A and B are shown apart, each in its own frame.
Chain A
């Protein structure tokens, strides 16, 4: 089980990539460009997510001096 924020982000990248593969495969199956376009959108989204996510990781590391996702639970109810 991953608790490291960096690994969690990497896993998210893998999942996004997986959906991208599915889209491109589907687009190529019907010979349409739409699948590739969806992949482009996913790409843009991933770029945005990674930049903000990594900035947050840096900030959290400054605050807690570790990368434990469970340590960052200030907003618990």
Chain B
């Protein structure tokens, strides 16, 4: 088990690094899927079989399929990969790397300071998880259902084909309307009569 954990962890890290350095979107996606599967193995090795299964089903299955669909629909060709490669050039990554380095340092400091003892954990089986989920975390479940509903509605709304035209029209008109009032909405219409009776 121990060996499986370490191997899977190394695979996960390597594939993740490859994911973020590819310039071809499909390649990156494939590495990402590998990374997710490796993480699933890590979960299983840590004694969380339910989450491991969900990682495979939802993350590597559903979400990644979405990504693949979108990439296929956009049909990014070779030119996109070249542009991507050009964008990755230069020293512009210095800043983010510096920031991330500081973050990593802080996290390492935290971990070392905590002086972790040997793991006491065993397997946390799905039954325990289910009981806790529908016990103290019930409100969280409700909230995530609402979140998902919101996402559903939002995605439906954004996906409507008629939207584009209407949006464009309002976009242009509202600017025109604003300019019409002279822009000064507070003073608009506050003109005084020269000699009011």
Chain A interface residues (CB < 8 Å from chain B): 1-4, 6-7, 9-11, 13-14, 17, 20-21, 24-25, 27-37, 39-41, 43-52, 54-59, 61-63, 67
Q: Whole-angstrom distance between the alpha carbons of A37 and B28 in the complex?
A: 29
Instruction: For A17, give its contact among B36, B90, B128 (CB under 8 Å).
Output: B36
Query: Is the beta-carbon distance between A21 and B48 smaller than 8 angstroms?
Result: no
Instruction: For B51, give its contact among A10, A40, A55, A62 (CB under 8 Å).
Output: A40
Inter-chain CB contacts under 8 Å: number? 157
List, in ascending order, chain B residues with CB within 8 A of A44's CB. 144, 147-148
Known contacts A55-B159, A58-B73; is-contact A46 B28 (Cβ 8 Å): no
Query: Is the beta-carbon distance between A36 and B73 smaller than 8 angstroms?
Result: no
Check if B77 is an interface residue, CB within 8 A of chain A.
Answer: no
* SS class, residues of chain B in contact with chain A: helix
Q: Whole-angstrom distance between the alpha carbons of A44 and B164 in the complex?
A: 29
Chain B interface residues (CB < 8 Å from chain A): 16, 19-20, 25, 28-29, 32, 35-36, 39, 42-43, 46-48, 50-51, 54-55, 58-59, 62-63, 66-67, 70-71, 73-74, 76, 80, 84, 87-88, 90, 92-93, 96, 116, 119-122, 124, 128-129, 131-133, 137, 140, 144, 147-148, 150-152, 154-155, 158-159, 163-164
Query: Is the beta-carbon distance between A47 and B51 smaller than 8 angstroms?
Result: no
Query: Is the beta-carbon distance between A50 and B48 smaller than 8 angstroms?
Result: no
Known contacts A10-B28, A36-B129, A51-B152; is-contact A29 B119 (Cβ 8 Å): yes
Q: Whole-angstrom distance between the alpha carbons of A34 and B76 in the complex?
A: 41
Least CB distance from B42 to A in Å reads: 7
List, in ascending order, chain A residues with CB within 8 A of B163's CB. 59
Query: Is the beta-carbon distance between A32 and B124 smaller than 8 angstroms?
Result: yes
Least CB distance from A22 to B in Å reads: 9
List, in ascending order, chain A residues with CB within 8 A of B66's CB. 50-51, 54
